[in-house]
Amino acid sequence: MTRKELLELYDAPLPVLQEAATAVRRRINGDLLWYNRNFHIEPSNICAHRCRFCSYRRDDASSPGAWSMSLDEIRPYCEAKFEPGMTEIHVVGSVHPDKDFGYYLGIIQEVRAFADERQSAERPVTIKAYTAVEIDDMCRYNGISVQDCLETLSRAGLQTMPGGGAEIFSPGVREKICPDKASGERWLEIHRTAHSKGIPTNCTMLFGHIESRTDRIDHLLELRKLQQETGGFNAFIPLKFRSAGNSLSGLGEVSGDEVLRTFAISRIALDNIPHIKAYWPMLGKDLAMEAMSWGADDMDGTINDSTRIYSLAGAEERNPSLSVAELKARALASGWKAVERDSFYKIIS
Residue ranges that bind ligand V47, judged by CB under 6 A:
53-55, 162-165, 167, 202, 204, 206, 237, 239, 241-242, 246, 279, 282, 300, 309, 313
Work out the widest C-alpha separation in the chain, in whole angstroms: 55
**d(C-alpha 38, C-alpha 149), whole Å:** 25
Asked whether 254 and 208 are in contact (CB, 8 A), the reply is yes
Task: Choose between 173 and 309: whose C-beta lies nearer to ligand V47.
Answer: 309
Q: Which residues lie below 8 Å from residue 318, measured CB to CB, with a gap of 6+?
A: 311
Task: Choose between 18 and 126: whose C-beta lies nearer to ligand V47.
Answer: 126
CB of 65 to ligand V47, least distance (A): 15
CB of 16 to ligand V47, least distance (A): 28
Q: Which residues lie below 8 Å from residue 295, measured CB to CB, with a gap of 6+?
A: 21, 22, 24, 25, 263, 264, 266, 267, 268, 276
CB of 24 to ligand V47, least distance (A): 20
Task: Choose between 114 and 241: whose C-beta lies nearer to ligand V47.
Answer: 241
Q: CB nearest ligand V47: which residue?
A: 164
Task: Choose between 20 and 177: whose C-beta lies nearer to ligand V47.
Answer: 177
CB of 44 to ligand V47, least distance (A): 14
Task: Choose between 137 and 300: whose C-beta lies nearer to ligand V47.
Answer: 300
Outline where DSSP puts E strands in the chain: 32-36, 38-41, 88-91, 126-129, 158-160, 201-207, 233-240, 275-276, 298-301, 337-340
CB of 154 to ligand V47, least distance (A): 17
Q: Which residues lie below 8 Å from residue 250, measured CB to CB, with a gap of 6+?
A: none
Coil, helix or strand at residue 128: strand
CB of 19 to ligand V47, least distance (A): 27
Task: Choose between 18 and 266: whose C-beta lies nearer to ligand V47.
Answer: 266
Q: Which residues lie below 8 Å from residue 187, measured CB to CB, with a gap of 6+?
A: 132, 133, 136, 165, 166, 169
Phi, psi (deg, nearest 5) at residue 235:
-145, 150
Task: Choose between 34 and 53: whose C-beta lies nearer to ligand V47.
Answer: 53
CB of 278 to ligand V47, least distance (A): 11
